[in-house]
Amino acid sequence: MKISSREMVLLWITGVVALGGVTYMLVDPQLQEWKSLNGKKSETTRQLENQKRLIDQAPTWNAKLAQQKKKLPTHPQGKDVTTDLQILIERLAKANGVNLISRDAEKETLRGNMYEVAVNCKWEGKLESLTRFLFDLQKEDVILDVSQLNVSPNEKKVLRGGFTVYCSYSRIPTAGGGEKKNEIKGQKNDVQSP
């Protein structure tokens, strides 16, 4: 059987098309994966640049942290801070015309190397008085944070509501591990003495 030149050209064209189709089927998944990896690479590069920028800002943030730590009040171990905090809140409220109906302190919690006490307050007063009170509360040299502020009018045209004040502070570490260690040493001395 003899193949004419026309058939040979058609045979070559069919072979090239078939080879192109097979190549496309084999290469297309690889191209999609390459595009995906290229997108991940650009995202990773962007994240890396953000991390480098944050690392470069570390001295600024450390300086701000040191400044805030200087403002942080320090109290001796075992001292009840809630009473002082409640007196401070009451003094500021009276000075600004806010009537505190109740104050309930929560238990002291340890957060990292800081302690925190929350005081839940119910109050009533005028809007101007409340605004001055909150402003004065933020001006104090104590680290105070007001959250969950609720305000509602009552029948006397006086505002009434509640808020929670969080006070952050640190404790002075006791020398040599605290009083308990001294008591144990004293007991050992008593046992060893005849």
pLDDT at 75: 83
Q: Are 167 and 142 in contact (CB under 8 A)?
A: yes
pLDDT at 119: 92
Backbone angles phi, psi at 57, to 5 degrees: -85, -5
| Residue 41 structure tokens | 């690479």
- Please state the length of the chain: 194
Q: What angle do CA 50, 52, 56 make, to 5 degrees?
A: 115
Give per-residue pLDDT as tens, 21-76: 888 888 888 888 888 888 899 999 999 999 999 999 999 999 988 887 787 888 88
pLDDT at 191: 35
DSSP state of 96: T
Distances, alpha carbon 112 to alpha carbons 15, 54, 116, 127, 186, in Å: 72, 22, 10, 36, 32
| Rounded average pLDDT per 10-residue block, the chain, 194 residues | 84 90 88 88 93 93 85 83 89 93 90 88 92 89 82 84 90 60 35 35
pLDDT at 182: 34
Angle at which helices 58-71 and 5-56 pack, to 10 degrees? 30
